[in-house]
Amino acid sequence: MRVDGVVGAGVLVPPQYAHACATSAGFVAVFLEPWCVRADPGRPTWLDGGSARRLVAASGADLDAEALRRELAALTEAPAPVDPRVLHAARSSTGAARLDAVAAEVGLSGPRLRALVRAEVGVPLGAMRRWGRLRAAVGAIVDGGTGPAAAAAAAGFCDQAHLTRTARDFLGRTPGSLPPR
């Protein structure tokens, strides 16, 4: 795997890190919530061949997220605890029409909640909202066989083009190019 000209067996790429990725063979890409793994936020963390193989083996054929999380925890430093208000905002803001409503639920103003999320996890709350919607839409497409237009509407995107732009921004590919699970 090659990321930004550096070659290695596996890599953890931090959130919001602009990069280009290329491989000469098949690869597994796993997108994690930013608080799940502690990694250097300023640069990729390279994994040796044994570590990369352990992660792929842990995920299994069915992509067992819990087994993968345990293996990542064994390979990396334990993540710092995250403010529960941040976790609540990240989990509930995807479906909320307005961030002000989510901020009120945790007893903060909208600007203070945005600042707290960025300070705690290094990712803007708006980007996390888009990520959550993208995850819901892609899950519906890949796991449920839902069409892109229906998945976009159900996940809260304005239209299929909005979903496609967001997928390109976050994943580097379109929802239609993702294979079924």
The count of C-alpha atoms lying within 13 angstroms of the C-alpha of 161, restricted to the half-sphere facing its C-beta, is 0
- Spatial neighbors of 160 by CB under 8 A, at least 6 apart, are 148, 149, 152
Long-range contacts made by residues 92-98, C-beta under 8 angstroms, separation at least 24? 93/125, 93/128, 93/129, 93/132, 94/129, 94/132, 94/133, 94/136, 94/156, 95/156
Question: What local confidence, expressed as pLDDT, does residue 128 receive?
Answer: 85
| R_g of the chain, CA atoms, integer Å | 17
Structural contact between residues 72 and 55, judged by C-beta atoms closer than 8 angstroms: yes
The predicted-structure confidence for 115-173, as pLDDT tens digits, reads as follows 999 888 888 888 888 888 898 898 898 887 788 899 999 998 999 999 999 988 888 78
Structural contact between residues 180 and 157, judged by C-beta atoms closer than 8 angstroms: no
What is the pTM assigned to this prediction? 0.73
pLDDT-derived band at 38, boundaries 50, 70, 90: low
C-alpha 106/C-alpha 168 separation (Å) is: 32
Which among 137, 145, 146, 144 is positioned nearest to 174, based on CA atoms?
Answer: 137
Question: What local confidence, expressed as pLDDT, does residue 123 receive?
Answer: 84
